[in-house]
Amino acid sequence: MNLDKITFRKMKPDEYEVLINLWDAAGLHYKPNGRDKKENLLSELNNTQESFIFAEYRDGIIGSILVSHDGRKGWINRLVVHPQFRKKGVAAKLIEKAENFLAENKIEIFACLIEDWNQISMDLFQKAGYQRFDDIIYFTKKLHSEV
């Protein structure tokens, strides 16, 4: 597969099911009744501080990434590549596109959170130049289990 034949673009509002189908195919866990429900994701598409970027090949979506920022730090989330297209450089290109979005928005710190079992993602981000910090403890508080 030639990476030059892959196009990268923003997700369109009518492509929610395409995104969910990709997440399902890739085994990505999501919250369809919470933060990942259709109306929530569609409202995020209008937020200028975030972008869902799709990787498209031969009229099909083969990967996606969510990138956002708070004005100070950029966050890369929900990086996924369809299993048939893994190990071909698609994820690295998605990271590059996310970083470009952040740089265009004057964000100079890029970050991601990776669960400790996901060695493949850790290796990918280290290869992309990200530094691992083992001395950071992550806290979260959820208003309910679906978010």
Helix 119-127 × helix 90-104 angle, to 10°: 60
User: pTM of the entire structure?
Assistant: 0.92
Residue ranges of domains in the chain, CATH in brackets:
3-127 (3.40.630.30)
Residue 50: strand pairing partners: 68
Tens-place pLDDT, residues 26-82: 999 899 988 899 999 999 988 899 999 999 999 899 999 999 999 999 999 999 999
Tell me the residue type at 28.
Answer: L
Task: Report the SS3 class of residue 29.
Answer: coil
At 92-141, the pLDDT tens digits run 999 999 999 999 999 999 999 998 999 999 999 999 999 999 999 989 99
